[in-house]
A and B are shown apart, each in its own frame.
Chain A
Amino acid sequence: MKHIFYQALRRSRPSMHAYDVALLWGVLILLAFGLVMVYSASIAMAEVDKDTGYRSTYFLVRHSVFLVLGLAGGFIAFNIPTKTWQQYAPLLFIVGVILLALVLVPGIGREVNGSQRWLSLYVVNLQPSELMKFIVVLYAADYTVRKAAFMGGDFVASITKGLLPMLVVMLVVGGLLLLEPDFGAFAVITAIAVGLLFLGGFDWRLFAGLIALLAVGFVGLVVSSPYRMQRVLGFLDPWQDPYGKGYQLSHSLIAFGRGEWTGVGLGASVEKLSYLPEAHTDFLMAIIAEELGFVGVAVIVCLFAFLVFRAFMIGVQAAKLDRAYQALLAQGIGIWFGVQSVINIGVNMGLLPTKGLTLPLLSFGGSGILANLVALGVLLRVDFENRQALRGFKP
Chain B
Amino acid sequence: MNAPTQPRTRQRFVQQLKLERWRVWFILAGLMILFGVLIARGFFLQIMDEGFLQQQGEARYARTLKLEANRGMITDRNGEPLAISTPVQSVWVSPRSVKLLPPGQKRPAGWEPSSEKEPVPMSREELAQLAKAVDMPVKVVESRLSTSRKSGDKPDFVWLKRHMAPQDAKKVLELNLPGVYAQTEYRRYYPAGEVTAHILGFTNIDGKGQEGFELTRQDMLAGKSGSRTVIRDRRGFIVEDISTIIPPKDGETLTLSIDRRIQYLAYRELKAAVEANKALGGGIVVLDARTGEVLALANTPSYNPNSRARIDPARRRNRAVTDLYEPGSTMKPITIATALESGKVTPSTVIDTTGGAMGMAGYTIKDTHNYGALTVERVLVKSSNVGTARIALAQDREFLWQHYDAIGFGQPPRTGFPGEASGKLRAWKTWRPVEQATMAYGYGISVSLMQMARAYQVFATDGEIRPVTFTKQVAPLPGKRVFSPEVVREVRLMMEKATQPGGTGTRAQVVGYRVAGKTGTAKKVGVGGYTEKRYVGSFVGFAPVSDPRLIVAVMIDEPHGDSYYGGTVAGPAFSNVMAGSLRMLGVPPDAPTDNILLPGQDEPEVPEET
Q: Which positions in A face B, CB cutoff 8 Å? A: 44, 48, 50, 144-146, 148-149, 151-154, 195, 198-201, 204, 239, 242-244, 247, 250-251, 253-261, 268, 270-271, 273-275, 289, 293-294, 297-298, 301-302, 304-305, 308-309, 312, 315-316, 319, 322, 324, 327-328, 331, 334-335, 338-339, 342, 345-346, 349-351
Contacts and interface: CB of A to CB of B under 8 A. Distances in A.
A257 B61 CA distance: 14
B53 A256 contact: yes
Contact of A301 (B12, B16, B21, B39): B39
Interface string B100-117: 000000000010000111
Interface in B13-35: 14-21, 23-24, 26-28, 31-32, 34-35
B86 interface: no
Of residues B49, B117, B234, which shows the largest number of chain A Cβ atoms within 10 Å of its Cβ? B234
B419 interface: no
A312 B57 contact: no
Contact of A293 (B16, B46, B56, B61): B46
B37 interface: yes
B60 interface: yes
Contacts of A48: 235
Nearest to A203: B1
Given A152-B2, A201-B17, A270-B61, A260 B240 contact: no
A308 B50 contact: no
A338 to B, nearest CB: 4
Contact of A254 (B9, B17, B18, B53): B53
A351 B56 contact: no
Contacts of A345: 38
A253 B49 CA distance: 10
Contact of B46 (A247, A250, A297, A334): A297
B34 A342 contact: yes
B432 interface: no
Contacts of B21: 316, 319
B177 to A, nearest CB: 19
Classify chain B: how many residues form its interface, as a range: 35 or more
Nearest to B20: A201
Contacts of B42: 256, 289, 294, 297-298, 301, 349
A308 B28 contact: yes
Contacts of B18: 148, 151-152, 201
A152 B23 CA distance: 13
B10 interface: yes
B19 A275 contact: no
A351 B46 contact: no
A200 B351 CA distance: 139
B396 interface: no
A294 B233 contact: no
B8 interface: yes
Contacts of A334: 28, 31
A270 B45 contact: no
Nearest to B61: A270
A331 B27 contact: yes
28 contacts: A146-B14, A148-B15, A149-B11, A149-B15, A199-B27, A201-B19, A204-B23, A253-B53, A254-B53, A257-B45, A257-B49, A257-B50, A257-B56, A258-B57, A273-B61, A275-B61, A293-B46, A294-B43, A301-B38, A305-B32, A305-B35, A308-B28, A308-B32, A316-B21, A319-B19, A328-B19, A346-B41, A350-B45
Nearest to B42: A297
Of residues B17, B18, B47, B240, which shows the largest number of chain A Cβ atoms within 10 Å of its Cβ? B17
A243 B117 contact: yes
B45 A304 contact: no
Contacts of B37: 346, 351
A306 to B, nearest CB: 10
Contacts of A149: 11-12, 14-15
Given A293-B46, A349-B45, 11 more contacts: A199-B23, A239-B56, A253-B45, A253-B53, A260-B46, A261-B46, A297-B39, A304-B35, A309-B32, A342-B38, A346-B37
Nearest to B231: A270
Given A273-B234, A312-B24, A351-B37, A257 B17 contact: no
Nearest to B234: A274
A345 B34 CA distance: 10
B54 interface: yes
Nearest to A319: B19
Contact of A257 (B23, B38, B57, B240): B57
Contacts of A242: 56
Contact of B24 (A50, A199, A324): A199
Contact of A44 (B46, B57, B233, B240): B233
A132 B24 CA distance: 23
Of residues A255, A258, A315, which shows the largest number of chain B Cβ atoms within 10 Å of its Cβ? A258
A294 B46 contact: yes
Contact of B233 (A154, A270, A298, A315): A270
A335 B27 contact: yes
Contacts of B35: 301-302, 304-305, 308, 338, 342
A275 B234 contact: yes
A247 B20 CA distance: 45
A351 B54 contact: no
A279 B64 CA distance: 27
A144 B17 contact: yes
B239 interface: yes
A153 B10 contact: yes
Contact of B10 (A44, A154, A309, A327): A154
Among all A-B residue pairs, the 8 with the closest Cβ atoms: A257-B53, A273-B233, A274-B234, A148-B17, A324-B17, A256-B45, A254-B57, A338-B31
B17 A247 contact: no
Contacts of A204: 23
A342 B28 CA distance: 13
Contacts of A153: 8-10
A275 B60 contact: yes
Contacts of A198: 23, 26-27
Contacts of A145: 17
Interface in B263-281: none
Contacts of A270: 57, 61, 231, 233, 239-240
A258 B38 contact: no
B52 interface: yes
A337 B46 CA distance: 24
Contacts of A151: 17-18
Contacts of B9: 153
B47 A351 contact: no
Of residues A154, A200, A302, which shows the largest number of chain B Cβ atoms within 10 Å of its Cβ? A200
A311 to B, nearest CB: 9
Given A243-B116, A270-B61, A148 B39 contact: no
A345 B41 CA distance: 10
Contacts of A342: 31, 34-35, 38
Nearest to A273: B233
A152 B1 contact: yes
Contacts of B32: 305, 308-309
A85 to B, nearest CB: 16
Contacts of A201: 17-20, 23
Contacts of A351: 37-38, 41
Contacts of A200: 17, 19
A294 to B, nearest CB: 4
B23 A312 contact: no
A395 to B, nearest CB: 16
Contact of B16 (A148, A259, A338): A148
Contact of A243 (B46, B115, B234): B115
B19 A199 contact: yes
B43 A254 contact: no
Contacts of A250: 56
B234 A260 contact: no
B590 to A, nearest CB: 77
A134 to B, nearest CB: 18
B62 to A, nearest CB: 9
Contacts of B61: 270, 273, 275
